[in-house]
Amino acid sequence: MLSFVLSRILQSFIVMIGVSLVAFSLFTYVGDPISNLVGIQTSDAKREKLRESLGLNDPMPVQFLRFIERASQFEFGISYQQKRKVGDIIAERLPATLELSFVSAMLALLIGIPAGIYTALHRKSWFSHFMLSASLVGVSLPTFLIGIMLIFVFAVNFNILPSFGRGEVVKLGFWSTGFLTASGLKALIMPSITLALFQMTLIMRLVRSEMLEVLRADYIKFARARGLSDRMVNFSYALMNTLVPVITITGLQLGSIIAFAIITETVFQWPGLGLMFIQAINEVDIPVMSTYLLLIAMFFVIINLIVDLLYYFVDPRLRVKQGD
């Protein structure tokens, strides 16, 4: 167990170093940091002095180590455009994205998994056919289109939901939440559905196909032959075994909910990390871009770590050593 966790943590660490390298090289290779900092009139001598004082003339490995050292202390530099600490900007934007992602993930799991189970168990029912056809729409239509259509119907035509923003937020320390106000909750509905739809259909189809696979397994046939009730066979035997592979994929998908929030946030002008990132790209705000990269990588790594540990608890074949 210990070695399993340790090796996973070690691997995560290596991944983070790799991503840091990419984030770091943004500074060096995407534009000249000095020209981004100073005006056109600055003399070459002054630029050289600045370069020296910022340590940009040091050898690359030294600069990289310095970058990692700062990043590990959550020092990400200063935004070129906003002239504020990047750490502060992120802290301000993070709650919006996390709340949106959390609601979307819950929607995707709480609807996707039961729908997958239902369509696997009742293959022939009209509801299964309906869900499967509907899920095709979810998979094939691009996210921004769904978002725009929702806005058109519910914000423009019926005028019952806000078309952009988070609504009113309540500050709880550094965290600003939209969960506590009516307008905040209303504002969450359309963006979270838009963001969840793709993952929901994916999870549903995954659960369905895995479950159909498991239902064909010998141990299910044997369980039925022993006269166990359908409920026990379907849920205690089939579902448990279905979840083992589903957990992995689902974990990865949850990571991409956070990462793909970019599009949804842009459509709904949601003041989160994604919108911040898009703005940063437009303005070539490299410190913000590189920090966003690091942050998303960290989310993925942490989620994967949790998934691996979950796997470990669900599947006794990993947990218990083969006996004599």
Q: Where along the sequence are the contacts to another protein (CB under 8 A)?
A: 2-4, 6-7, 10, 217-219, 221-230, 232, 236-237, 240-241, 244, 314-317, 320-323
C-beta of 310: minimal distance to another protein in Å? 13
Instruction: CB nearer to another protein: give 196 or 223.
Output: 223
Instruction: CB nearer to another protein: give 262 or 301.
Output: 301
CA–CA separation, 110 vs 116, rounded Å?
10
Name beta bridge partners: 175: 172
Residue with tokens 């303005």: 283
DSSP annotation of 78: B
C-beta of 306: minimal distance to another protein in Å? 20
C-beta of 123: minimal distance to another protein in Å? 10
Instruction: CB nearer to another protein: give 228 or 263.
Output: 228
C-beta of 218: minimal distance to another protein in Å? 4
- Backbone φ and ψ for 315, nearest 5 degrees, come out as -100, 110
C-beta of 112: minimal distance to another protein in Å? 21
Instruction: CB nearer to another protein: give 44 or 218.
Output: 218
For residue 187, the surrounding DSSP H or E stretch is helix 182-215
- Per residue, what are the HEC states of 255-314? HHHHHHHHHHHHHCCCCCHHHHHHHHHHCCCHHHHHHHHHHHHHHHHHHHHHHHHHHHHH
CA–CA separation, 162 vs 269, rounded Å?
11
Tokens of 51: 């370069």
Instruction: CB nearer to another protein: give 175 or 219.
Output: 219
- Backbone φ and ψ for 283, nearest 5 degrees, come out as -100, 10
C-beta of 228: minimal distance to another protein in Å? 6
- Alpha carbon distances (Å) from 127 to 134, 203, 255, 281: 10, 17, 30, 44
Instruction: CB nearer to another protein: give 35 or 236.
Output: 236
